[in-house]
């Protein structure tokens, strides 16, 4: 007897459709009733805070359990080295693409902006934050003041450092460490359960965030800057389809099927403009595809600081756009220097809203030929730009996780595609089979 096909959810109960409807409603309310739009900002802020309070414990439990249960520390070092190599290559490619596109489209030419007419106080706040992104301070900041201080600050790299140290300690305990692993595993399930409850409020958060954005800046904030926005969105889209799509094809799966698989997370990011809100869901979905827990626990959190493809594209396009808008000449040598600086400053960004703007300020501060005060020109549209940055970052980290997992022969193309098909058709994913093969 053929088993009954699981009933599909009614359309109004599908999360990504709820978020999409909430985003549209937020835009309408913000446009027609700006005061009301501004007043619903706490809805978006509250939802983001709910999600962020769960990120640190979920990352900690996932990384500790994944590494400590691996039993092969050589494998951990190998995965870490491959991950950093992948991140560096793809991130640099994103920076180069942004540089090429902005020089081709030249959206800032003809703007003829006099930077002295802008309020320097608008960009000063971002410049002060950017100062803290120096290489030495960035490295020292990875070490938390106290053990629990990492969970209070929410710094993902601090949490990751603690998780790796704890995982090594538990692994060294041998059999005596198994009870600790069981407790950590159960703790992770509890936090994921809380996350499933919290994410139901995503449409409310998306409505509040979008209502505030449009109510505060208005659709008129896009005037004269649409060329930059259009170029950035086009470049990010091409990067996802061409670059990440090529990586996906090389690893045996379709980038479009993968985008369909993570559509809930994409809609969540679209509404909140922060890729961190989708982090717990991405961890769970990557594991459901068959990626090893240790690989997911290492690649996803690390990627939120070292593999921000959308932020990288934005940084080079934004910096050169401001140079064009202020009639600041940048020759090839200066643009290559800008690229090198961006490669360093981009590593200090995280997935929170506005981090890309801060790292852009850090890049401009290191390239004094472009007036830092010109950063004020982008403040009005940064919220709109941050959505595209966050979406691109999310997709890039998901593809990276699958690529590293395939590189490590943890997952076959057949199993991956089978699980992708079953997931998009609302059927349970199968367990990872024993076949192993390399990315073609």
Assigned token pair, 407? 């590189």
Residue 347 pLDDT exceeds 90: no
**How much of the chain, in percent, has pLDDT values that exceed 70?**
76
Provide mean pLDDT across the span 209-213: 78
Do 79 and 408 meet the contact criterion of CB atoms below 8 Å apart?
yes
pLDDT higher at 322 or 125:
322
**pLDDT score, position 71:** 61
Q: Give the C-alpha separation, 102 to 100, whole Å.
A: 6
Do 65 and 185 meet the contact criterion of CB atoms below 8 Å apart?
yes
Q: Give the C-alpha separation, 51 to 64, whole Å.
A: 20
**pLDDT score, position 9:** 65
Using a 10 angstrom Cβ sphere, with 0-12 exposed, 13-18 middle and 19 or more buried, the burial of residue 127 is middle
Provide mean pLDDT across the span 365-378: 70
CA-nearest of 400, 341, 388 to 92 is: 341
Give 381's contacts (C-beta < 8 A, 6+ positions apart).
217, 221, 222, 225, 228, 229
**pLDDT score, position 258:** 94
Provide mean pLDDT across the span 23-48: 84
pLDDT bucket at 239, cuts 50 / 70 / 90: very high
Compute the mean pLDDT over every residue in the chain, rounded to the nearest whole number.
77
Sequence-ordered alpha helix ranges (H) in 218-262? 226-238, 245-250, 255-261
Give 307's contacts (C-beta < 8 A, 6+ positions apart).
86, 87, 90, 91, 393, 396, 397, 400
Do 56 and 151 meet the contact criterion of CB atoms below 8 Å apart?
yes
Phi-psi region of 166 (alpha: psi -120 to 50; beta: other; left: phi over 0): alpha
- CB burial of 357-383 (b: ≥16 within 10 Å; e: otherwise) equals bbbbbbbbbbbeebbbbbbbbbbbbbb
**pLDDT score, position 379:** 64
**pLDDT score, position 404:** 92
**pLDDT score, position 324:** 85
**pLDDT score, position 73:** 65
Over the stretch 4-16, which tens digit does the pLDDT of each residue have?
Answer: 445 566 766 777 7
**pLDDT score, position 242:** 93
**pLDDT score, position 403:** 93
Provide mean pLDDT across the span 336-364: 65
pLDDT bucket at 396, cuts 50 / 70 / 90: very high
Neighbours of 298 (CB within 10 A): 25
Provide mean pLDDT across the span 294-317: 82
Provide mean pLDDT across the span 411-427: 79
Assigned token pair, 74? 């050589």
Do 119 and 19 meet the contact criterion of CB atoms below 8 Å apart?
no
Over the stretch 111-155, which tens digit does the pLDDT of each residue have?
Answer: 676 666 555 555 555 555 555 455 566 677 778 888 888 888 767
pLDDT bucket at 215, cuts 50 / 70 / 90: confident
Domain boundaries, the chain: 12-424
Provide mean pLDDT across the span 85-114: 84
Give 170's contacts (C-beta < 8 A, 6+ positions apart).
64, 68, 177, 180, 181
**pLDDT score, position 128:** 53
DSSP assignment of 150-178: HHHH--HHHHHHHHHHHHHHHHHTGGGGH
Give 376's contacts (C-beta < 8 A, 6+ positions apart).
118, 119, 120, 122, 123
Using a 10 angstrom Cβ sphere, with 0-12 exposed, 13-18 middle and 19 or more buried, the burial of residue 216 is middle
- CB burial of 244-257 (b: ≥16 within 10 Å; e: otherwise) equals bbebbeebbbebee
For domain 12-424, say whether CATH 1.10.3860.10 is its number. yes
Do 221 and 91 meet the contact criterion of CB atoms below 8 Å apart?
no
Neighbours of 267 (CB within 10 A): 25
Provide mean pLDDT across the span 270-291: 82
In terms of average pLDDT, the best of 61-65, 281-285, 328-332 is 281-285
Residue 432 pLDDT exceeds 50: no
pLDDT higher at 435 or 387:
387
């Amino acid at each position: 007897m053929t088993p009954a096909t699981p009933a599909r959810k009614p359309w109004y109960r599908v999360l990504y459709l709820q978020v999409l409807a909430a985003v549209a409603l937020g835009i309408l309310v913000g446009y027609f009733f700006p005061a009301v739009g501004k007043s619903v900002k706490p809805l978006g802020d509250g939802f983001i805070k709910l999600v962020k309070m769960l990120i640190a414990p979920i990352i900690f439990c996932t990384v500790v359990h994944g590494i400590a249960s691996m039993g092969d520390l050589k494998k951990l070092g190998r995965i870490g080295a491959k991950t950093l190599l992948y991140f560096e290559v793809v991130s640099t490619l994103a920076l180069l693409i942004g540089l090429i596109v902005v020089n081709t489209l030249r959206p800032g030419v003809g703007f003829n902006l006099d930077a002295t007419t802008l309020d320097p106080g608008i960009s000063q706040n971002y410049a002060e934050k950017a100062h803290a992104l120096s290489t030495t301070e960035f490295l020292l900041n990875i070490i938390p003041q106290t053990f629990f201080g990492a969970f209070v600050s929410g710094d993902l790299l601090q949490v990751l450092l603690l998780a790796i140290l704890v995982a090594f300690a538990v692994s060294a305990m041998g059999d005596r460490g198994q009870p600790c692993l069981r407790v950590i595993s159960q703790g992770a399930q509890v936090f994921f359960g809380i996350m499933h409850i919290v994410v139901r409020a995503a449409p409310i958060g998306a409505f509040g965030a979008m209502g505030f954005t449009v109510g505060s800046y208005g659709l008129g904030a896009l005037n004269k800057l649409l060329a930059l926005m259009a170029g950035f969105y086009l470049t990010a889209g091409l990067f996802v389809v061409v670059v990440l799509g090529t990586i996906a094809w090389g690893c045996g799966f379709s980038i479009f099927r993968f985008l369909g698989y993570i559509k809930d997370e994409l809609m969540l990011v679209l509404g909140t403009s922060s890729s961190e809100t989708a982090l717990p869901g991405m961890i769970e979905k990557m594991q459901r595809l068959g990626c090893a827990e240790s690989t997911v626990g290492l690649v996803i959190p690390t990627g939120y600081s070292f593999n921000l493809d959308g932020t990288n594209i934005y940084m080079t396009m934004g910096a050169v756009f401001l140079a064009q808008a202020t009639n600041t000449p940048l020759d090839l040598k200066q643009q290559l220097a800008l690229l090198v600086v961006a490669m360093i400053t981009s590593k200090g960004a995280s997935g929170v809203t506005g981090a890309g703007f801060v790292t852009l300020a850090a890049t401009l501060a290191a390239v004094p030929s472009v007036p830092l005060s010109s950063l004020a020109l982008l403040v009005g549209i940064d919220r709109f730009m941050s959505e595209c940055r966050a979406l691109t970052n999310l997709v890039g980290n998901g593809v990276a996780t699958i690529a590293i997992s395939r590189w490590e022969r943890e997952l076959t193309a057949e199993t991956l595609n089978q699980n992708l098909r079953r997931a998009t058709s609302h059927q349970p994913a199968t367990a990872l089979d024993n076949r192993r093969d390399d990315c073609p």
